[in-house]
């Protein structure tokens, strides 16, 4: 959506009706998880904001009984979430390393050179595209957050400040920006009009071009009890099973899938237009056997998801009880620690942490403060919980007995940085998938 448009007028390729599946239009009847009410997960507060009313929204997740797409209703316009964004990808060392390895791998695999173009949806501060630009490969980023896009532009990354959809895809094509490689890492879930998104992706892809997307896998979310990855800016949650249905309906074929450790268990899919499915053999720098191996991986993961129950509606409906159990366990630990006189702080101010804190009703009485490397978050307060965000050095000054790692997907990186808490017998805690004190 562009600024000034309503949810109704922005659905240029067809309306997304409230109460209905954003993909197939089936009425949504089955609850996947009800996390109560919560503020927007990235709406960090300034000190003056603590005296103002803070909006809370229902955080209820449904599963479509027809296509099995897990989804939230659109309770707030994307402009309210993404136009001024607090998340900058470049502040995570491990994520930068992940991006660099991906860039090098795809440059070689797809034979990218000065005649190619890499187009990224949700390019953030240009962290990924900079690795392609270093190799003199033309790049174009698209991101709706003007404050974040300005950082990318300062790096010399061409960035269009806008929401990606079918109309913007047509503008990109008219400007000669068709993509040999169309990247969308952790962006598929962020766009409410899913069908419009897919039409735009197909439109902007060159003949023989490849779409590469990463997103947290639904199987990991369910089996590892990752309820905190649910928040309002994630409109949809995909299994490979549901992704294949969505892509196929738009004339796109998923030709390979990789299982990644990032974000607690992600999928990386490669897709092409169905009419081009024989072209990527050469474009990928691969033999027909290699392409066949990729398709076999797709079939193997689809079979695994079926075996684990992702084609059975009852599997989704059972997740709610797991979430309730997690809440009880977390509160029991924190209340017990504080009653024993222990001081508890946290590391990180991620969106997932805000979901957990608000669903569990945790505030400064249980977690005194949190710290974060991003100066864009320091000096502010977490939404809903009003826990203050400080600089990492404050951990050494205040010396908490427990340090809760809220971005548990970065546990290794964070515990290495903060290993010095052992000096006063401090201990790390993670809450997902289960409570672990170490």
Per-residue pLDDT of the chain (438 residues; tens, 9 = 90+): 333 333 333 333 455 677 999 999 999 999 999 999 999 998 999 999 999 999 999 999 999 999 999 999 887 665 565 555 555 555 567 778 888 999 999 999 889 999 999 999 999 999 999 999 999 999 999 999 888 899 999 999 999 999 999 999 999 999 999 999 999 998 899 889 999 999 999 999 999 899 999 999 999 999 999 999 999 989 999 999 999 999 999 999 999 999 998 878 999 999 999 988 665 545 545 556 667 788 899 999 999 999 999 999 999 999 999 999 999 999 999 999 999 999 999 999 999 999 999 999 999 999 999 999 999 899 999 999 999 999 999 999 999 999 999 999 999 999 999 999 999 999 999 999 999 999
Q: Do 203 and 335 lie in a common domain?
A: no
Q: Do 100 and 184 lie in a common domain?
A: yes
Residue 12: per-residue pLDDT: 34
Q: Do 288 and 333 lie in a common domain?
A: no
In-domain check, residue 58: no
Q: Do 135 and 157 lie in a common domain?
A: yes
Question: What range defines the domain where residue 354 resides?
Answer: 319-437
H or E, element range at 146:
helix 146-154
In-domain check, residue 10: no
Residue 356: per-residue pLDDT: 98
Residue 197: per-residue pLDDT: 96
| Phi, psi (degrees; rounded to nearest 5) at 363 | -130, -165
Please state the pTM of the whole predicted model.
Answer: 0.87
Q: Do 129 and 259 lie in a common domain?
A: yes
Q: Do 299 and 371 lie in a common domain?
A: no
Alpha helices in 345-427 (DSSP H): 351-360, 394-398, 411-417
Residue 3: per-residue pLDDT: 33
- Rounded CA separation 247/259 (Å): 18
Q: Do 134 and 219 lie in a common domain?
A: yes
Residue 158: per-residue pLDDT: 96
Q: Do 150 and 282 lie in a common domain?
A: yes
Q: Do 294 and 394 lie in a common domain?
A: no
The domain spanning residue 324 has which CATH number?
3.40.50.720
Determine the 3-state secondary structure of 172 from DSSP. helix
In-domain check, residue 339: yes
Q: Do 339 and 297 lie in a common domain?
A: no
The domain spanning residue 178 has which CATH number?
3.40.50.150
- Rounded CA separation 167/175 (Å): 13
The alpha carbon of residue 51 and the mean position of all alpha carbons in its chain are separated, in whole angstroms, by: 31
- Domains in the chain, number: 2
Of residues 95, 101, 103, the one with CA closest to residue 120: 103
| Phi, psi (degrees; rounded to nearest 5) at 413 | -60, -45
In-domain check, residue 16: no
Q: Do 274 and 352 lie in a common domain?
A: no
């Amino acid at each position: 959506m562009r600024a000034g448009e309503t949810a109704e007028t922005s659905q240029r390729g067809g309306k997304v009706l409230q109460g209905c599946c954003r993909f197939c239009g089936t009425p949504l009847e089955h609850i996947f998880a009800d996390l109560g009410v919560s503020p927007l997960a990235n709406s960090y507060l300034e000190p003056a904001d603590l005296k103002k009313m803070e909006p809370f929204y229902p955080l209820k997740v449904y599963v479509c009984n027809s296509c099995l797409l897990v989804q939230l209703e659109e309770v707030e316009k994307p402009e309210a979430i993404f136009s001024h964004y607090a998340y900058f990808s470049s502040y995570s060392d491990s994520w930068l390393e992940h991006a660099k390895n991906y860039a090098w791998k795809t440059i070689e695999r797809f034979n990218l050179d000065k005649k190619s173009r890499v187009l990224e949806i949700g390019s953030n501060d240009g962290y990924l595209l900079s690795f392609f630009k270093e190799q003199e490969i033309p790049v174009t980023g698209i991101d709706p957050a003007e404050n974040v896009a300005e950082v990318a532009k300062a790096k010399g990354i061409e960035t269009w400040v806008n929401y990606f959809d079918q109309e913007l895809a047509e503008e990109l094509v008219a400007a000669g920006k068709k993509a040999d490689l169309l990247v969308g890492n952790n962006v598929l879930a962020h766009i409410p009009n899913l069908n419009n998104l897919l039409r735009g992706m197909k439109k902007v892809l060159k003949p023989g071009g490849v779409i590469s997307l990463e997103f947290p896998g639904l199987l990991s979310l369910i089996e590892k009890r990752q309820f905190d990855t649910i928040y309002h800016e994630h409109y949809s949650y995909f299994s490979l099973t549901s992704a294949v249905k969505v892509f196929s309906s738009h004339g796109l074929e998923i030709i390979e899938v990789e299982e990644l450790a990032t974000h607690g268990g992600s999928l990386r899919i490669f897709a092409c237009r169905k009419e081009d499915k024989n072209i990527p053999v050469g474009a990928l720098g691969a033999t027909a056997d290699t392409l066949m191996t990729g398709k076999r991986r797709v079939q193997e993961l689809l079979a695994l998801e079926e075996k684990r129950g992702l084609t059975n509606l009852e599997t989704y409906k059972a997740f709610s009880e797991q979430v309730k159990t997690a809440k009880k366990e977390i509160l029991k630990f924190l209340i017990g620690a504080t009653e024993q006189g222990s001081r508890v702080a946290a590391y990180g101010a991620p969106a997932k942490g805000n979901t957990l804190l608000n669903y569990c009703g945790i505030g400064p009485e249980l977690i005194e403060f949190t710290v974060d490397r991003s100066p864009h978050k320091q000096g502010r307060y977490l939404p809903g919980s009003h826990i203050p965000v400080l600089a990492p050095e404050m951990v050494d000054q205040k010396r908490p007995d427990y340090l809760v790692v809220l971005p548990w997907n970065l546990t290794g990186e964070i515990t290495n940085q903060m290993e010095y808490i052992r000096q006063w017998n401090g201990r790390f805690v993670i809450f997902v998938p289960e409570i672990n004190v170490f």
